[in-house]
């Protein structure tokens, strides 16, 4: 079982990429096979598959196999961290602490 912070990080990270976000948004129109998604976007099939694997690892999409095709669909529960205040701020502060450290490196004593 992954802890909450780890799951949240995966969700935010997965959706931080514009291509993955586009694929994810595209799936909200309904279930789609990898080849459908490849046609919709100007990305190679291996790249689409890689993006889908990342989204799946973050719990944002589910898949099912039918014959030689793999179909992907949205997992609405995977969006929970996005509508949760604490996970929002957990990600916010992690990012800001990182920025604070970089700023301190560049500051005069």
Interface contacts to another protein, rule CB under 8 A: 3-5, 12, 15-16, 21, 24-25, 28, 74, 76, 79, 82-94, 96-104, 107, 109
Minimum distance from residue 17 beta carbon to another protein (Å): 9
Minimum distance from residue 78 beta carbon to another protein (Å): 10
Contact 71, 31 (CB under 8 A): yes
Residue among 69 and 100 whose Cβ is closer to another protein: 100
What residues form DSSP beta bridges with 73? 62
Q: Which helix (H) or strand (E) holds 37?
A: helix 34-40
Residues 6+ positions from 28 with CB-CB distance below 8 Å? 74
Residue among 67 and 76 whose Cβ is closer to another protein: 76
Minimum distance from residue 67 beta carbon to another protein (Å): 28
Among positive and negative, which fits the CA dihedral 101, 81, 1, 30? negative
């Amino acid at each position: 079982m992954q802890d909450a912070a780890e799951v949240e990080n995966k969700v935010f990270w997965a959706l931080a990429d514009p291509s993955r976000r586009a694929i994810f948004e595209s799936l909200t129109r309904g279930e789609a096979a990898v080849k459908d998604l490849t046609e919709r976007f100007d990305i190679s099939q291996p790249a689409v598959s890689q993006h889908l694997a990342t989204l799946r690892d973050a719990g944002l999409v589910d898949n099912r196999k039918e014959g030689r095709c793999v179909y992907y669909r949205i997992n609405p529960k995977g969006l929970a961290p996005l509508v949760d205040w604490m996970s929002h701020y957990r990600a916010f502060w992690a990012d800001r602490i990182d920025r604070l450290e970089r700023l301190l490196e560049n500051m005069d004593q």
